[in-house]
Structures are given as C-alpha cells and as structure tokens.
Amino acid sequence: MFPTSDEDGPGLAPGTSDVLQAATRVLAGIALRSLDSLGAAVTLPQFRLLAILADLGPVPSGQAARALGLDPSTVTRLADRMVAAGHAARGTDPRHRGVVTLTLTASGRELVAAAGAWRQRELARIMARLAPADQEAVTAALGLLVSAAGDDYGIIAHRPVPL
C-alpha cells in the first residue's frame, strides 16, 4: 500500500513513518486546496490572518502577529493587502491610540466560512468511503494523536504552528 522506505526510527513500528507522511500529505492537502476553492482570492498567509481574526475577533495587530508566529511588520503588510481587498478593516483602541486593531469585514467572514465549508464537504466525501465503524476509529485515533502531541503543537505553542 505504501512505498515502504525501510526508514523506521527507534520506537516506531515498521511502516509508521510512511503512513504518517502520507497522512500529512492528505490533511495538509485538504487544508491547502480549500484555498483554491475560493477562486485564488487569497494566498495562504493572507488566509491565515483572516482565520486568526475569525478565531480571536478584533485584536491588536501585534497580538495577531504573535498568534501567527510572524514579525509585526509582516502582519502590517498582510493587513494592508487584506484591507485593500476589503476582507479586513483597521480600527483604533480608544484606550491606547497607538494600538491598531484588526477586524474581519463581512467579505472576510464569508471567505473563512466558505473555506471551512469546503473543507468539511471534502472531509465528509472522503470519510464516506469508510465504514461507519472505521470513521469512528479514525476520529478516535486522531484524537489520541492530538492529545499525545499535547501543547507542543497546539494553537498556543512556544513556536506557533502554521495552518
């Protein structure tokens, strides 16, 4: 089934590495292609900014930068493009006039929602090929993997993880 690369490290059952690599390809592929479904409206970094804004609501630019693991200046320029495209808006915090808050516009919210919907449809399409019991097994196993990875690869990590 998989091109066994006879490269299994210590403590890993044979074939595990290959399966993990293939699974990474599948999951990352779904995430990336969901952007293509938007008609090339936004790039991956741009979408990441929109997604974090959808998650956090209106936040200071710097906080978005920390959440994304990017330099503040990079977020400034990403925001430039998203404001120009009408997907986000800049605002000010009355308390601290030096702070620039970023918010999604209706257009931005639509993009994030559309990508999420596409991802779910695609996922359902793939899972539908499995028996119900297997579907449950996949979900349960992924939950195990995620819990094992713990905080190391969570949204809030020492070094934030993309996607």
Name the residues that contact its own copies, by CB under 8 A. 1-2, 7-13, 15-17, 19-20, 22-33, 36, 116-117, 119-121, 123-124, 126-130, 134-150, 152-155, 157, 159, 161-163
Instruction: Select the binding partner of residue 56 from DNA, its own copies, none (C-beta < 5 to 8 A, by kind).
Output: none
Q: State yes or no: residue 95 binds DNA (CB under 7 A).
A: yes
Instruction: Select the binding partner of residue 79 from its own copies, DNA, none (C-beta < 5 to 8 A, by kind).
Output: DNA
Q: State yes or no: residue 70 binds DNA (CB under 7 A).
A: yes
Binding residue (CB under 7 A) for DNA from 14, 62, 91, 143: 62
Piece of the chain touching DNA by CB under 7 A; list 6-14, 30-38, 93-101, 140-148: 93-101
Nearer to DNA, 79 or 115 (CB): 79
**Which DSSP string corresponds to 33-77?**
HHHHTTTS-S-HHHHHHHHHHHHH-SEEHHHHHHHHT--HHHHHH
Q: State yes or no: residue 72 binds DNA (CB under 7 A).
A: yes
> Smallest distance from the beta carbon of 82 to its own copies, in angstroms?
22
Nearer to its own copies, 98 or 132 (CB): 132
Q: Give strand ranges (E) for 61-131.
A: 88-92, 100-104
Binding residue (CB under 7 A) for DNA from 21, 76, 107, 135: 76
Compute the distance between CA of residue 5 and CA of residue 25 in angstroms, rounded to an integer.
16
Structure token pair of residue 67: 């959440």
Contacts of 35 (CB under 8 A, 6+ apart): 42, 43, 44, 47, 115
Name residue 59's beta-bridge partners.
Answer: 102
